[in-house]
Amino acid sequence: MRYISRDTQATIDLNALVENYQYVASIAPQSNTIAVVKADAYGHDANLVAHALSPHVELFAVGFIDEALALRQSGIKNNILILEGPFKVSDFTIAHEHNFLLMLHSDYQIDWLLSHQPQLTQNIWLKVDTGMNRLGFAIDDIDNIISKLDTTTQQNLVLCSHFSTSEQITSRKPVEQLARLKPLVEKYSCQFSMANSAGIFNFPASHGDYTRLGLALYGISPTDNNLLTEQLNPVMTLQAKIIAIHQVEIGETVGYGDTWSATRTSKIATVAIGYADGYPRNAKSGTPVFINGRVVPIVGRVSMDMITVDVTDLTVVAVGDSVELWGKHISIDSVAKSSDTINYELLTRVSKRVPKVAAS
């Protein structure tokens, strides 16, 4: 039994999660919407997330086979796609035993596939590099790759690629990338997957047979330019409690390095969360938090276990009051901007010592 003393936690709104999935799926009704739960469901607890979504989702996606096995061990029976494919030849045997789908991106994986081909019955996904230049086969190599596959594998083939700028609604590159993939899809009469979260909203032509729903599943907009994302609701609310309140006089400093000093007599609240919990150490003074119905600023440096907040302007504040770091009232994007990072990193860096608790 885990004893919880601090009350620092990430509350996971599973109703919002399911509603986000259903809403985004409705935008691409002809596609099979994959729920991407890699990196512990973007820091939201993959077991919680997958069990909430399993009645609604045909296919989950994870980064590597270890994550898929963890889902199986927790009782998830849905199909699971391994986005980075096999790291070892033995991964093919495991994939066959547990009904995992493998995405292949390199010649060595094709060699492994050929040695297992008679035993594999699942769809094989081939990653095509259309301009991301990270993983995938060159377009000119696809004909040769497919020619090596047996008839059954060719008939069950899914071609996949990944946008590099789909969050930019005015970018021409997503259109160009899709134009590179589609001739191959037509040539081989196969299924395809191109759209990530931003692609679903910004580039409807990319929806294809499968869309890959990641960030937007968790209620965070993948683009600043699409009104459709206003219906998304944040799934995670990161909270901690005030554990001390002090008065600081004009000219006195707060925190390591003396980076902030009071310009007025100030009331400073110390909150039980820090960079060891995944709250960004480089969050600047002025980064917003939400206490008792008001937005107030962090002051001083983030410590390992604590942050300090200027609560001078709050009429009512006391030890034990709850502080929202991001979630329903504080946009994670505002915290990311104040910390010179991105929302993805903040979500996935919430540490294991912060309990993930389903909203009641």
Give me the active site residues, please. 38, 256
CA quadruple 248, 254, 258, 259: dihedral, nearest 10: -110
The answer to whether residues 291 and 239 touch, using CB atoms and an 8 Å cutoff, is no
The answer to whether residues 229 and 221 touch, using CB atoms and an 8 Å cutoff, is yes
**C-alpha closest to that of 23 among 238, 223, 197:** 197
| Assigned token pair, 26 | 């409705």
Is position 103 annotated in a ligand binding site?
A: no
CB atoms within 10 A of CB 195: 29
DSSP 119-156: G--S-EEEEEESS--SSSEEGGGHHHHHHTS-HHHHHT
CA 204 to centroid of chain Cα atoms:
21
The answer to whether residues 266 and 349 touch, using CB atoms and an 8 Å cutoff, is no
Exposed, middle or buried, 145 (CB in 10 Å: 0-12/13-18/19+)?
middle
Q: Which CB contacts under 8 angstroms, 24+ apart, belong to 107-112?
A: 109/85, 110/145, 110/148, 112/86
Is position 236 annotated in a ligand binding site?
A: no
CA–CA separation, 91 vs 22, rounded Å?
A: 32
**Partners of 81 in beta bridges:** 61, 101
Beta strands in the chain (DSSP E): 9-12, 32-36, 59-62, 79-82, 100-104, 124-129, 137-138, 157-160, 191-193, 210-213, 236-248, 253-254, 260-261, 266-271, 288-291, 294-299, 307-310, 322-326, 356-358
Numbered residues of the known binding site:
134, 304
Numbered residues of the known binding site for substrate:
134, 304
